[in-house]
Every structure is written in C-alpha cells, then in structure tokens.
Amino acid sequence: MSETTHSAPPVVRFATSPDRYRHWKLEVDGAVATVTLRVDEHGGLVPGYELKMNSYDLGVDIELYDLVQRLRFEHPEVKAVVVTGGLERMFCAGANIRMLAQSTHAWKVNFCKFTNETRNGIEDATEHSGQTWIAALNGTAAGGGYELALACDQIVLVDDGSSAVSLPEVPLLGVLPGTGGLTRVVDKRHVRKDRADLFATKSEGFRGRTAVEWGLVDASVPRNALDEEVARRAAAAAATSRRPSGAKGVALTPLDRKDEGDTITYPYLSARIDRAGRLVEITVTGPHDAPPADPAAQGADYWPLAVTRALDDLILHLRTNELDLGIWVLRAAGDHERVLAYDAQLREMAGDWFVNEVRHYYKRTLKRLDVTSRSLIAVIEPGTAFAGLLAELALAADRQYMLEGVYEDRDDDAALPLHGYAPPPPVPATIVLTLSNDGDYPMGNGLSRLQSRFWGHDDDLQAVRARLGEPLDAAAAVELGLVTLALDDIDFEEELRIVLEERASLSPDALTGMEANHRFVGPETLETKIFGRLTAWQNWIFIRPNASGPDGALRRYGTGRKGDYDLGRV
C-alpha cells in the first residue's frame, strides 16, 4: 500500500460479527455494557505495520462499527455503554501512524471518513437510542484515542500522575486530528479557543486537574476509584434511559450478498457495474408484501431494515473498493402502495424501540450517501418506487431525470435486464412524497432533503408540502421543482447517455468539491464541520510534502528525525 510502490490495497469487507472480533470484547451486565479495546498487534488489515499501544486501523474500526450496531439492535436492555482500554496504562494511542504513512491517499481519506461516521454513530446512539456512552480512560488517550472518547457523552480519566489526553497530530505529524477532535473540543466540550489552540499544539497533552478544569474530560479520579466512578455514572445514565427493559433483541444475521462478475445482488438491492462508463447502476426494490403487524418479529428480514443493511454495505464496498466508479445511477422499483404502507408504519410506530432503531439506521445510511464523493444521478422511469422513504434516495441525488409517459417502442424483454426487477408496466412514472420526507431523515446540516433543496425558497417548499401523499407525474414534478429534467421516450435515453458520458469526462477532484458544496446548504453543524471543513483541509494536508512527502513529518515519525517543512504559507 505504499505510495511509492503503488501496491494495490486489499478488497475490504465490512460485514463482521462478534465471534470474529480480534480487537474488541463486549460484556453485557443488565443495563450496562462494557466494551474493551485490546488491539491484536499482529491483526492489521494489511501487512507492514504492528498495531502497538492499542493503535487502530480500518479493521479495528470495522469491528467497532459492527459492535455499535449490534448494541442498538441486539441489546435493547442496554442503557449505558462503557468503553475502556485493555492495556496497562493505555486507553488508545489513536490511528496507527505507520499504517497512515504507507497508505495511499484514497485509503487515508476513506479510513478517516468511515471512522468519523462511526464516531457520529456513537453520538447518535446516545441521543436517539438511549444508550449513553461513557469513556473510562484507564490510561493515556492520544490522537484518535482521545477522539473516540470525545464521541462519548462523558469522559472519566484516571489520575495516576502520567495518563493524559492529547491531540498530537499537528506538532508531531504535520496533519490534523482526523476524526473530529478539533471540532468536538470547541463545539461539543466548549473548550475556550485559546486553550484549544494550546492543547492541539502540546504533544504531551494534559493530565488530571488541568484536563478537568479546561473541560477536556468530565472527571479525573485515582486508579482505585475509577471503576466505582464509572459505574456510578453508568447507573445514573441507565436510570434516565427510555430503552425498554423487557424487550427481546433482533439479531443482525449475516447479509445475503452475491457477487457475480460485475453484479452485486442482495434480496432488495442490485448493483451493475459498467467499468467502461465508470459508473454503477443501483436499483432498490420495494417490498413483496404488506407490513407485518409486529416488525420486530420479522427481525433482519423486515423490509426497511433489510434494504438499509444492504444499502449500507454496498455504499461502503463501492466507496472503498471501486474508486474508479465515479457515477452512481440510482433507481427504485416496485409497488408504490406497498412502499407507502411501510413508510406509514415507520411513522406510526416510531415510539417502538425496534422501529426507532430502523428509522435512525436508515437516516445514518442516507447521511453516508450524502458525504460519499460520487456523482449521484436518480433515474425515474415507469415502474419506479420513489415514494416515501425511498424518495429520499432521489432527493439525495445531485440530479434527477424523469421520463414523461412510457417507452413506446422499446423491447420490454430486453429492457433494464440487470436492474433487479421485472420490466416496468406501460404506466407513466410518478413519485410520491410524504411527511417522512419533511424531517424524519435529516441530513448532517439538520435539515430535511426537501428543506435543503428549496433553501431560500419557502414558497416552493410550501407548494411541495401542499401535495404530500399525491402521486406526481413528470409535469407536476417539473412544476414543483422536484426533478432536474423530464423528457419523452424519444429523447430520454439519449439525453441520459450524454449526461453520464459528460460527467465521466470531468475531473473527479473538481466534482468531489463541487458536489460537497452543493449538497449542504444552510446552517453549519458539528457534522458539516467535520465532513466539510475538517475533511476538506485534511485531504489537502494529506498530499502536501510537509506531511506526506519523503521528508514530511508523517513519514519521518518514529525515526527520531523531525519533518523538514516548506515554511511558506499557502
């Protein structure tokens, strides 16, 4: 994976399970779960580095993501989660520096993005699942280790005269803390900006009383009092949780995924790769049956959960392993009414713990799509199921193209053969928006995708709201501003071909920057700062010689030599 040898990175699989964990241990005791990080030094995802001092790579974080998901779905009884370190006097040393130094630029970027999303998922669990995360720092938490603690609701640091919290990336590595540390210190923990500046340039960080006084941690206690203090906080958090005490968890069974050549299929999702066109055609399929009376009884087969798990896995796979596929064409197929029935159930049963988890998982997966650096094009044709929750996929796209009427002269037997659904009936396409599109699945900016689409145009937003629940044909969709362009069958396929070819000819770097700027309008939040401001700067810094050049700080770390810097400001 060296940038000088251009070694091919491995194909990464994101599906795992507790029986395969190498780095994390989960223990559940009633309402409190304890997750312990004890990294297998020789368990790196790729050769070339050892994960010493509880440092982590992508493989460690894949396990953490799986663990967070399973706690939410499989353990409704858990109301507080304690995360601690399994090494003596060391919580976590952060991202493994040798791994970063030898990785390609794309690998670094995707690693940081996934890690950020996982930390956001921890905060989401505290806010929306009633599972309060508490960091029990049994030793030093440096860099990404402290950033993991920052994602927790509370931080307790052992006061032993040596353990500290620190963000040493700027002084030691010439890069930024890549997992939200700079943002959370000032925005979440409200550390005064001059103190935050001093903290982020003091490589050894701060211990005990100073860390508490500055707000870097919530408490610092002697080692013999750490367990008692953390247990007290976990019990207090559990006492205020809305999680049900007697509910039975839902097992996240292994995904049913098939990879056959350039086609990937799941029960309700298919992806066809066109390498010549540098694109992938993704089709989500609606449910086969009406919603069940008891969603949790269906478990992982409950259609909204099955679709979400498949979409989540596909996004991660394509984003990490298929860097050349810069365009994702999104389609939805199936019965509008069945999709809308599930959409209504998700709203009506939002107070049910399981349905609540499904809703927030879908929200998080859509957010993952929002921050993915790919061009998203929604195609709306006869047989489409862009309704309710599936309409969010069309609203998430950078452009939407809709067919007016039906295909008059196309051979239906040959139409859309690999999209994962039967040829569409000769009925014009419609889209249906519902109340769920007006706030149930907010973006990282806190707005719905409808609000983001019509930012600054309140009259247009109100016009759409007045027609929620109504099937909208191409003319209505154009009038309301819900699609980019509507064309009849004479021009549709040719226009779409030209659009996709033009997109594929543009600079991927420029497109990434353009799309990220257009997708997130309006207010800035902690999330938009992390994925916009922080990520953008870090991506730039990662390719600068001061960090990643042969004499840069990132490459020289551990050699005893400091980086040689070009001291000119840009």
Domains, the chain, with CATH or none: 19-240 (3.90.226.10), 259-506 (3.90.226.10)
Residue 48: its pLDDT value, please?
92
| 7-51: pLDDT as tens digits | 567 899 999 999 999 999 999 999 999 999 999 999 999 999 999
- pLDDT in the model for residue 418: 42
Render the burial of 416-445: b for 16+ CB within 10 Å, e for the rest: beebbbebbeeebbbbbbbebbbebbbbbb
Question: What pLDDT does residue 129 have?
Answer: 96
Q: Are 148 and 92 in contact (CB under 8 A)?
A: yes
Return the DSSP state at 156: E
Q: What is the pLDDT of residue 423?
A: 54
User: Which residues are annotated as catalytic?
Assistant: 147, 169
Residue 27: how many CB atoms within 10 A of its CB?
Answer: 10
Please write the tens of the pLDDT for every residue from 276-311.
Answer: 999 999 999 999 999 999 999 999 999 999 999 999
The model's confidence at residue 175, banded by pLDDT at 50, 70 and 90, is: very high
| Residue 362: pLDDT over 70 | yes
| pLDDT 10s digits, 236-259 | 999 999 999 889 999 999 999 999
State phi, psi for 219 to the nearest 5 degrees: -155, 155
CB atoms within 10 A of CB 462: 10
Closest by CA to 332, choosing from 274, 256, 395, 275, is 395
